[in-house]
Amino acid sequence: MGFPPKIAEQALINSGRHCSICHKFCGSKMELHHIEQRADGGEDSYDNCLPVCFDCHADVKSYNERHPKGRKYSVGELKAHRDNWYRKVASSTGPVVDSTYVELDRKTFKEIIEKLQGSIRDYVCEHDYANSFYQDWHSGLNDFLNSAKLPENEFFDAEMEGIRATLREDIRKFRVSLAQNTFMVKVDGGGRLFRMNDDPYNNPVLLGHLNQQSKDQAQFEALIKEHQERNNEVREELNELAQRACDSFAEFIRFGKRRLVV
């Protein structure tokens, strides 16, 4: 059983349909989480309701008391995240008007653009990730993700903070996919060069390995095809996530210019 409709509606209004933990805008893709689980005596009350995105909901729920890894969210911590976010939304019902807050948010906005524009505009938006790339191309992404963890780099304006959270998540997913699907091939004068797997026909070592695994020519060709299909999937994933990061950055700039009158 979920929360009563009036409580659910009020929680969605007060959160602005943003996640109370990561702050990204969720629209319809969000959950109302019981801070104290009903199995442990938690009520379907407003005070026990936490609006979260799907990812944060899975993270909050996934902690296993029998096999503890990491640090579990406490009840007090979750309520503090929620209440702090509610206050930010309540103070940002329209464009920011306090001149001090406006200037601080403008400063944060410009710093984010400075960190990202070189990496995203010059490389991420232009590159086909079926081809090799230098690690340094993404240094701006890493700088942004590291600084985004710090509370002093949050926006005062809730709408700006929400769109920053979306940008952060899109860039994070792209970086995770790069880490999982590419590897360093060499170090040269330009730095560390990375790439995804070669086509098997361009990799004699892999061809030899597949040949040893195969009982006959048909199995050999099937293994080659399997690797080629996987390479195509990886290429599509990397380029799709790269484009999503580019689109998210462009929307961040468009929205920020309107919201902060920059």
pLDDT tens per residue, the chain (262 residues)?
589 999 999 999 899 898 998 888 888 888 999 998 888 888 989 999 999 999 888 888 765 454 456 677 888 999 998 998 898 888 765 554 567 888 999 999 999 999 999 999 999 999 999 999 999 999 999 999 999 989 899 999 988 999 999 999 999 999 999 999 999 999 988 799 999 988 877 777 777 888 888 888 988 888 888 888 999 999 999 999 999 999 999 999 999 999 998 8
The torsion angles phi and psi of 50, rounded to 5 degrees, stand at -125, 105
| 195 DSSP β-pair partners | 183
Residue 151 sits at the vertex; the CA angle it makes with 146 and 156, to the nearest 5 degrees, is 125
**Residue 133: predicted pLDDT:** 95
Range 216-247 burial, b when 16+ CB lie within 10 A, else e: eeeebeebbeebeeebeebbebbbebbebbbe
Owner of token pair 């086509």: 199
**Residue 128: predicted pLDDT:** 96
**Residue 96: predicted pLDDT:** 47
Q: Are 140 and 208 in contact (CB under 8 A)?
A: no
**Residue 66: predicted pLDDT:** 45
Q: Are 223 and 156 in contact (CB under 8 A)?
A: no
CA 136 to chain CA centroid, Å, is 20
